[in-house]
């Protein structure tokens, strides 16, 4: 059996990480409102990512950007300034859909004159803005505010974006009977996709002379590295859009299964 573990993952998740994630996901699978999830996410960002304060800006369907949450009054004023002046890292993150990291807020006065002065006067040195994304669209952003110059590690950056994505899910969940109906629809789709993926993996195994487990690993690694849904990759493979050799030659080598 192949016991390879994806790089960067550990079997021992620290309690200080597990507990906030458990609280957020418990809300997501139960009855919840978007603001509660946003609050839990921003609290987790403060605890796990060393931020002294956090704030959330959301795109208003009626136009513009609105402050949805802030950890304290000082952070709320900074978020309000970004919303009304359209200056600052979070506004830019919402426009571009990218993580914006400002290591030294005071040095950005040419870029964001009003925001840079206000943020520096409020005592913030570093700000990181994480985009809230849903179905390929940016719907808002979460600000991490630091009173000291900080540079996030790659792991912290990935965790921050994962928490931000959970906040996006908190805005999109249906409730009650409607949610149950949608779950039924998604369940049927998932089961159909599973069959299609199994066929694609079998096709890949035969074409590349791999055993089924090797083919599954090659298939899923290609999907993960290219950020493709498994069902979409299966359709591309079985329809001829992708050839088995396209997937096999671009995946990492898989050792033979004992």
Dump pLDDT digits (tens) for 89-147.
999 999 999 999 999 999 999 999 999 999 999 999 999 999 988 888 888 899 999 99
CA dihedral sign, ordered 147, 151, 169, 96: positive
pLDDT value, residue 193? 84
Note whether 115 and 88 are within 8 A (CB). yes
From 44-53, 165-174, 195-204, 224-233, the region with the lowest mean pLDDT? 165-174
Specify whether the backbone of 253 is left (phi greater than 0), alpha (psi in -120 to 50) or beta: beta
Q: What pLDDT sits at residue 178?
A: 62
- In a 10 Å sphere around its CB, with 0-12 CB exposed, 13-18 middle and 19+ buried, how is residue 46 labelled? middle
In 3D, which of 59, 54, 66, 118 has the Cα closest to residue 88?
A: 118
Task: Give residue 210's Cα distance to chain centre.
Answer: 33
Per-residue pLDDT band for 181 (boundaries 50, 70, 90) equals low
pLDDT one-digit tens code per residue, 33-79? 677 788 888 888 888 898 999 998 888 887 888 888 888 888 889 99
H or E segment and range at residue 102:
strand 100-102
Q: How far apart are CA 128 and CA 110, in angstroms?
A: 18
């Amino acid at each position: 059996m192949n016991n390879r573990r994806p790089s960067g993952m550990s079997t021992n998740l620290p309690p200080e990480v597990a507990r906030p994630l458990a609280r957020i996901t418990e809300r997501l699978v139960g009855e919840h409102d978007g603001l509660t999830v946003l609050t839990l996410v921003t609290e987790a960002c403060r605890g796990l990512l060393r931020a002294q304060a956090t704030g959330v800006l959301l795109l208003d369907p009626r136009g513009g950007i609105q402050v949805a949450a802030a950890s304290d009054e000082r952070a709320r004023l900074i978020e309000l300034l970004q919303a009304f002046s359209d200056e600052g890292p979070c506004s830019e993150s919402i426009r571009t859909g990218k993580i914006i990291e400002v290591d030294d807020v005071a040095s950005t006065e040419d870029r964001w004159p009003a925001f840079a002065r206000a943020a520096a006067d409020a005592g913030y040195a570093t700000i990181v803005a994480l985009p809230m994304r849903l179905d390929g669209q940016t719907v808002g952003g979460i600000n991490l505010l630091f009173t000291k110059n900080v540079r996030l590690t790659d792991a912290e950056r990935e965790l921050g974006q994962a928490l931000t994505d959970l906040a996006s899910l908190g805005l999109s969940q249906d409730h009650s009977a409607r949610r149950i109906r949608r779950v039924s629809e998604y369940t049927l789709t998932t089961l159909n996709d599973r069959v299609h993926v199994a066929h694609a993996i079998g096709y890949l195994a035969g074409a590349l002379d791999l055993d089924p487990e090797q083919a599954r690993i090659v298939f899923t690694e290609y999907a993960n590295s290219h950020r493709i849904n498994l069902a979409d990759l299966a359709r591309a493979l079985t329809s001829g859009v992708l050839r088995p050799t396209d997937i096999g030659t671009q995946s990492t080598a898989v050792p033979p299964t004992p």
